[in-house]
Amino acid sequence: MGVAQAERVLKSRWRTASLAAGWPFPGDWPLREVDEVCAAMIDPVDPDEALVKLGRARAGAGAGLDETLLDLAALHAVLGGGGGLVVPNVDALPARMLRLTASGWAEVVTEEACDRGAEDPLTGLATRGYLRTRLGELYREPTAPDERYALVLVGLDLTRATGWSRVVAMTLLSDVLRVVFDGGETLATIGPSVAVVLARRDAALAQKMSNLRVLAADRLAVDPHVRPTGPAKVWSERLPATHHDACELIAALAR
């Protein structure tokens, strides 16, 4: 049996076992990420990334954690059950397999939970969801927003800090943003280490970005625990032509 045929057989048996175990969304089961997991199991290659992506895809499609893990248990049962009838058992899942898939699922759910609010509770900046809403308002105006606005990004290297130092660093950065951009601009946090300003494209923008670099360096230097997160990276991005593309850009910049 060739590799491609083996992947198709695995996918078919996995789907059958998952549906038999009670997967509630037959039409939503076949995803690109399912194919990637099958390929990783047959080739074989390291399946870690494929499992994380599967968890993210299931969450993005609206599947709960129980359904996601039951589906994963169906795959595990098929892989170890020969060619006969298999009975998925979530409790029998290998810890690593479960953890990777569950962490991917949790990432999406956490992102969605943050997006639902208007203000980030730690920094006091707007959330990514609010920024998307604000951009939607701009894209509905007659003049294209890319002619009037730009995204100013500032990021820290939080891998160099631990514990509460990571929170303190982003809190200090949010204070700097409020000082430099004090003209009613939308200030938002879009990721664990990235904040953004929806700023007007005017003659003062370059100077404000320069001030942001200098003031961020000064604030971070005060505390030896957060100093390693700097220097802050400051750059700008031009807004795309459509609201959808702008949202996609923000999601990419948040990582």
- Kindly report, residue by residue over 160-180, the tens digit of the pLDDT: 666 666 777 788 888 889 999
The winner for highest mean pLDDT among 84-88, 95-99, 116-120, 121-125 is 95-99
Measuring CA to CA, which residue among 57, 84, 60 is closest to residue 72?
Answer: 57
Lowest mean pLDDT among 80-94, 95-109, 111-125, 217-231: 111-125
CA distance 31 to 47: 16
Domain 118-253 CATH (choose: 3.30.70.270, 3.40.630.40, 3.20.20.10, 3.40.50.720): 3.30.70.270
- How much of the chain is in helix, strand and coil states, percent to nearest 5? 60, 10, 30
pLDDT at residue 99 tops 70: yes
Q: Taking the CA atoms of 219, 222, 225 and 231 in sequence, report the sign of the dihedral they define.
A: positive
What tens digit of pLDDT does each residue of 9-62 get? Answer: 999 999 999 999 888 878 888 889 999 999 999 887 788 999 999 999 988 887
* Vertex 179: Cα angle to 175 and 191 (nearest 5): 45
What pLDDT is stored for residue 83 in this prediction? 62
Of the candidate ranges 54-58, 107-111, 133-137, 207-211, the one whose mean pLDDT is the lowest: 107-111
- Burial label for 244, CB within 10 Å (0-12, 13-18, 19+), is exposed
Map out the domains of the chain as residue ranges.
3-115, 118-253
Strands lying side by side in the sheet with 186-191: 186-191, 194-200, 149-155, 233-238
Instruction: Answer whether residue 206 shows pLDDT above 90.
Output: yes
Residues near 249 by Cβ (< 8 Å), separated by ≥ 6? 151, 237, 239, 240
pLDDT at 156 > cutoff 90: no
Average model confidence (pLDDT) for the chain? 86
Q: Which residue has the higher pLDDT, 102 or 120?
A: 102
Structure confidence at residue 39 (pLDDT):
92
pLDDT (0 to 100) of residue 162: 65
Contact 104, 37 (CB under 8 A): no
The pLDDT of residue 51: 94
Reply yes or no on whether the pLDDT at 115 is more than 60: no
**Mean pLDDT calculated for residue range 84-109:** 85
In the chain, % of residues over pLDDT 70: 92
Tell me: pLDDT of 110 over 90. no
